[in-house]
Chain A
Amino acid sequence: MSLQRRILHIDMDAFFASVEQVLNPELKGRPLIIGGDRQDTRGVVSTASYEARQYGVHSAMPLVEAKRLCPDGVFMRGRFEHYRAASEKVRAVLETVSPLVEAASIDEAYIDVSGSQRLFGGDCAIAQYIKRRIREETQLPCTVAVGPNKLVAKVGSDEAKPDGYLEIEAGGEAAFLRPLSLRKLPGVGPRTREMLESLGVFTVGALADLPLQTVLSVFGQTGYALQRAARGISTSPVEAESVPKSISRETTFERDLLDWGAIERILIYLTERAAYALREKGMEAKCVTLKVRHSDFKTYTFARTLAEPTSLDRAIVDALRGLVPNARERRAGVRLIGVALTTLTHNQHQLRLFDGKSSEKWERALAGVDRVRERHGFDVVRLGRSIPLGRRVQLATPSLSR
């Protein structure tokens, strides 16, 4: 007997803001903007509470503009460790429903619930169970949609927000998407939308109705995929253990920095963060990229391929240090610095003939450090050369504490 495919999408409502409101009930009901404090003139909004959204504030908006739109708002820098803890609790709830859970981001996940129908008694029961359990565990609101595939489930939860539930029947995908604006369809960006609008296409339904030849001639192969999406057709599976393609950590400074000594210390800290995440996933990286954004927003990247894939902080730091002189050539204030680890391998640790002893010693040491971090938080153990956070150097973006 073949199961009917049912995919659930869950999206936490104004996640960072909601977490802050749970931690500090005085913030409930107030327009709350996460991204940077009141003095921050440079950051962007990472999350706005629903109260703040009524003023027109939305994520990715410069904080300066958010302050203009919502002068009475509460502005906060993010506390990522709390968001992450909440996210982990949510995930634990989701895993009681089905083993097929794909975390799309910190506040979003897909679950293949095809096999959980009989156990729970249908889509609606599953959704109610999830919403109730998450409330119990975290007091956080979320929106859930269930549909025949990931695409419609995702669009569905977006439509049902906040604190909502929506069910899209098998066969009803196209009808559900038809009246929606193009911007609601995943995969349609501003450029694609502009091109479609020039063809007189303003709704998902109109895109679905376009002759295939027209779509193909305008968009090529992407057009085919685009029209399938517009018709609610999607077969991409829920990937429980997705293998990341890259791991990166970056931060924007509160003030532009010229002192490369200070910048390097932050870089080491970011590397420690990234390498920790790398080891957590049992991965190693072969390519290290240094990213620098200057005061004038010009962004440069410098990459180096390592001789051997590594997960050791030390090896990554050494590679970055080799790249710093190139980055320093442009004498301008540094606004953002970041490290990206790419060409990742999983469980592929090639043992060495000669220098294995020393790296193995480091590996053992770091494994110990990581165990301590798992219990007491990342910052309890740090490399000597890394920064003392929070004193001399202020970091403006919450991504750093991820």
Chain B
Amino acid sequence: MKICVLIKQVPDKDSSLTIADDHLTLVENNITWVSNESDNYALEEALQLREKHGGEVIACTLGKDSARQVLKDALAKGADRGIFISDSSFESLDVLSLGKVFASTLEKENFDLIMSGLQSDDQGNSQLGLIIAELLNMSHGTLGMGTEIIDDSTIRLKKELEGGWFQWTKLSLPASISIQSGINSPRYATLKGIMMVKKKTVDEINASDVASRASASNITVKKLYVPDKTKETQFIEGSPDEISEQLVKLFKNDIKVLN
């Protein structure tokens, strides 16, 4: 089984983020970068599939220079190889155009399985894996909460549906599947794993390698801004003691949940 895992570098959820003066980008110097949450689960699932069925796991990211770190982390956890796609001309591409960049990069590798997270925690398009499936003529499934390899040409995916429902779906390989958080318990890198990183290869891809497919973006982002507040929230202030005191009163007198 030859598996590709797509991992995006995104700001850590606890980073305090500030919009830059151009109203389009973020101030970068105080951002802590991490691998996208659901992508970590996708990587773990890929590594477990390899452990059970043999094969190869290749981690792939598209991003700025800093994004090399997500590949290093994936290699340290056990991925066999990395693919680093980077070019300043990719930075403002919409997700369909990005999909074309990925498709032309990944096409020649003939992966059995492409695994991605269900959505990126920054842009949240929830699209890339399916776009690649279409462009590379693969089957697909989303929101995976379980996988089972049936044979060389079939995988079963347990898909999460709304409100606590699930559905197994049989997919012919090659397939592009997206993974939901919680499917497994992602491992941490071991010291040995970290030592191995240097011995593994990372292929570098830039715009000249994918010219045939990539196209100009057809969506323009005009600006980023902090959403307006619509609801009047009553803020309770003071020391922890005073706040607790006021909450007790609130629960008792206003919300009336104390008896």
A is bound by B: no
State the A residues within 8 Å of B (CB). Answer: none
State the B residues within 8 Å of A (CB). Answer: none
